[in-house]
Copies of this chain bind each other. A is one copy, B any other.
């Protein structure tokens, strides 16, 4: 059998619950396709801070770097909100992204016919939405230097950050996005603020240059404020969106809420080589942690992305995706996606139902 090593980072809140369920699904889907996994669980986020004093212990980063892929649950919680910045769970996550050099964050937002009513958008606007946000993840204002605090000429305190992109950073994320658009409906919309920002002007110039290698993909450009509007007005116009780190943070969250079911949405973060990082887009939901109420489907679908994008195991990935659809078709729903006439289940039972269909 083929063997892969997976680092599991359960993290905080509902993280451990959804990871434990997704692990079983991954195992079964793999074994049915002749794949064997070895799993290594490592501390991360607030849990790691409590255990070791650091939200990303060195052993965790090393284990993740050595693995074939990394599956993360969720991080953060009220408990650590007052931590100093370098000790916050979020900082651990940013360090993990940087340490794994995963510059490309893939965030699909799909409205499943079974769940179209969960959207706050009218049915005819929401149904059929199937878009992918490709967000640059290791550059821009998140990591740009100089950053910090200072004093201006008038003796006033200032806080500052640098939005900066270099050609190579734009080119590589553009290539990832064009490749993805090519495998989807062939339309790529690059989002920037090139009417104001120099960093965006270079972004637009380079994305346009890279487009020459992808004549089969239709490229368009949109300002970020307009994109935020168009996602609400007519989300079906989008196939693949590519954008910088901060705009991607905002727009991918907006897009995911448009589906109405963020408990369903996975994500993948990929580098040039080395292990990818896969995680649900929802947070750690501390208020329902430990109550077997969490929706594990986003993490299960993240495991599918792990197979497809991380390991190139498309068949095993397809098994998981089909199993999730089957389970929804049978009417199983966790609380966040429940509607009358369906069967309300907890996190574990949902996992068991998916297992039956893998």
Q: Give the B-binding residues of A (Cβ under 8 A).
A: 85, 88, 90, 94, 120-122, 125, 141-142, 144, 147-149, 152, 154, 156-168, 193, 195-203, 224-226, 228-234, 246-247, 249-254, 256-258, 262
Query: Which chain B residue shows the least CB distance to A249?
Result: B225
A141 CA to B197 CA, complexed, in Å: 8
Distance in Å: Cβ of A326 to nearest Cβ of chain B: 28
Report if A162-B162 is in contact (Cβ < 8 Å); known contacts: A120-B125, A141-B197, A254-B232.
Answer: yes
| Residue contact B164 to A197, C-beta cutoff 8 Å | no
Residues in B with CB closer than 8 Å to A154 are 166, 168
Distance in Å: Cβ of A197 to nearest Cβ of chain B: 5
Query: Which chain B residue shows the least CB distance to A226?
Result: B253
| Residue contact A149 to B224, C-beta cutoff 8 Å | no
Main secondary structure on chain A at its contact with chain B? Answer: helix
Report if A202-B159 is in contact (Cβ < 8 Å); known contacts: A152-B166, A195-B88, A233-B120.
Answer: yes
A225 CA to B232 CA, complexed, in Å: 15
Report if A198-B141 is in contact (Cβ < 8 Å); known contacts: A158-B164, A168-B156.
Answer: no
17 more CB-based (< 8 A) A-B contacts, given A120-B121, A120-B234, A159-B164: A90-B195, A120-B125, A141-B141, A144-B160, A149-B198, A158-B165, A159-B201, A159-B203, A161-B198, A161-B199, A228-B228, A229-B254, A229-B257, A229-B262, A232-B257, A247-B250, A250-B250
A200 CA to B233 CA, complexed, in Å: 29
| Residue contact A120 to B232, C-beta cutoff 8 Å | yes
Residues in B with CB closer than 8 Å to A226 are 253
| Residue contact A166 to B158, C-beta cutoff 8 Å | yes
Residues in B with CB closer than 8 Å to A120 are 121-122, 125, 232-234
Report if A251-B232 is in contact (Cβ < 8 Å); known contacts: A147-B198, A157-B202, A164-B160.
Answer: no
Residues in B with CB closer than 8 Å to A257 are 228-230, 232-233
A252 CA to B226 CA, complexed, in Å: 10
- Give 6 A-B contacts (CB < 8 Å), ordered by A residue: A141-B197, A157-B167, A159-B199, A160-B164, A161-B163, A225-B250
3 tightest A-B CB contacts, nearest first: A159-B202, A229-B257, A160-B164
Residues in B with CB closer than 8 Å to A252 are 225
| Residue contact A159 to B233, C-beta cutoff 8 Å | no
Residues in B with CB closer than 8 Å to A121 are 120-122, 232
| Residue contact A163 to B165, C-beta cutoff 8 Å | no
Q: Which single member of B147, B157, B229 contacts A253 (CB below 8 Å)?
A: B229
Distance in Å: Cβ of A155 to nearest Cβ of chain B: 10
| Residue contact B157 to A166, C-beta cutoff 8 Å | yes
Report if A167-B158 is in contact (Cβ < 8 Å); known contacts: A196-B94, A198-B147.
Answer: yes
| Residue contact B202 to A149, C-beta cutoff 8 Å | yes
A202 CA to B158 CA, complexed, in Å: 7
Query: Which chain B residue shows the least CB distance to A234?
Result: B120
